Every structure is written in C-alpha cells, then in structure tokens.
Amino acid sequence: MHNHYCWGYVPDVPKKSHDVDPDVAVLQHYKRCHLKPDKCQQMMNDTTRDDTVLKFRTELIRAVSQKLSRLSI
C-alpha cells in the first residue's frame, strides 16, 4: 500500500481532480509492487501504521450499517 496522486484517469470517467489536504484524507492504493523486487522488499520492511481514520470509526460504522440495511444484506 502506498499513498500517491493518480497518474491517469479511467476512460469514460469525467476528468476531474480534487486536492485534499493530507491531514483530511489520503488515497490508499493497494496493488502488487511495480518496482524492482529488492526495492519492493525494502519498502515492505519500512512500514508505518496509519490509524488516522479511526477518529471516524463510529460515524463510518453507522453510515455503512445504514447502507447495508437498505440493501437487505
């Protein structure tokens, strides 16, 4: 996982960009490492726990629960 700005747009999606202060939110992007294997391993060994979203835990759980109940899931 790494945080970054998008490099490109998905076809057929409006090309908009919104700058958000990293203190408010970051894009957390999950995918296989696309760097050389030794660099990927180095990065995997240099991690930091990011628990900033926990301050929204209660609100997020409530909002997701409401959506799921509307979907009858």
In this prediction the pTM is 0.37
pLDDT, position 1: 45
- DSSP per residue, 23-72: TT---EE-----S-HHHHHHHHHS-----GGGGGHHHHHHHHHHHHHHTT
Tens-binned pLDDT, residue by residue, of the chain (73 aa): 445 556 666 677 666 666 777 777 766 666 778 788 898 888 888 888 888 888 889 998 898 888 888 887 5
